[in-house]
Amino acid sequence: MPAVLLETNAEISDPNLLGQELSKAVAKGLSKPEKYVTVSIRSSQTMIRAGNPSIFAFIEIRSIGGFSLPVNNTLSTTICEILSTYGLLKSNIDVNFMDISPENWGKHHGTFG
């Protein structure tokens, strides 16, 4: 059940296309079926970094398993490549990986744990 949460103060020209690109990249990177990936994009947000409103992005990727150093490095590189095509500098993109235990992820009438 990977979830991709993107927040940026950049204006994203085509958020639906970006969402599809991120969904495919995360599904492939985590070896999870894309039908389980959720993407949320919040663009044009008021955000401050290092005391000023320079253009940047913060991405959280949450999943029940699938993370490792090689996977995270590959995903980080891939996501930065994708976002750079939307005008963001790779040096201004932070990616955070959160491994969620199954008992802390709910769906339908219970949890996965």
Neighbours of 95 (CB within 10 A): 19
Q: What share of the chain is helix, strand, coil (3-state, %, to 5)?
A: 35, 25, 35
pTM of the model: 0.92
What CATH number is given to the structural domain containing 25? 3.30.429.10
Q: Is 51 helix (H, G, I), strand (E, B) or coil?
A: coil
Give the range of the structural domain holding residue 93, as residue numbers without chain letter. Answer: 3-111
Question: What totals of helices (H) and strands (E) does the chain contain, helices first?
Answer: 2, 6
> What domain count does the chain have?
1
Bigger pLDDT: 109 or 33?
33
pLDDT band per the 50, 70, 90 thresholds, residue 108 = confident
